[in-house]
Amino acid sequence: MYMVIYSFSTSNDLVAEDYYNQEILYQDNIDAQKNALPFKNGVTISSSSENVIIQFPANFDVKFTDGEISFYRPDNAKLDRKFNLKLTQENNQLLDKSKIAPGFYKVTIQFTTGEKHYLLNKEIWV
Averaged pLDDT, 60-72 = 89
Strands (E), 16-115: 44-47, 51-55, 66-72, 81-84, 92-96, 104-113
Report pLDDT digits (tens) over 42-53: 999 999 999 999
Query: Mind listing the pLDDT tens digit for each residue in 81-112?
Result: 999 999 998 999 999 999 999 999 999 999 99
Torsion sign (Cα): 110, 35, 112, 90: positive
d(CA 119, CA 42): 14
For the chain, domain boundaries: 2-125
Q: Which residues contact 76 (CB under 8 A, 6 or more apart)?
A: 11, 13, 103
pTM: 0.78
The predicted structure's pLDDT at residue 26? 83
Which CATH number is associated with domain 2-125? 2.60.40.10
Alpha carbons within 13 A on the beta-carbon side of 93: 14
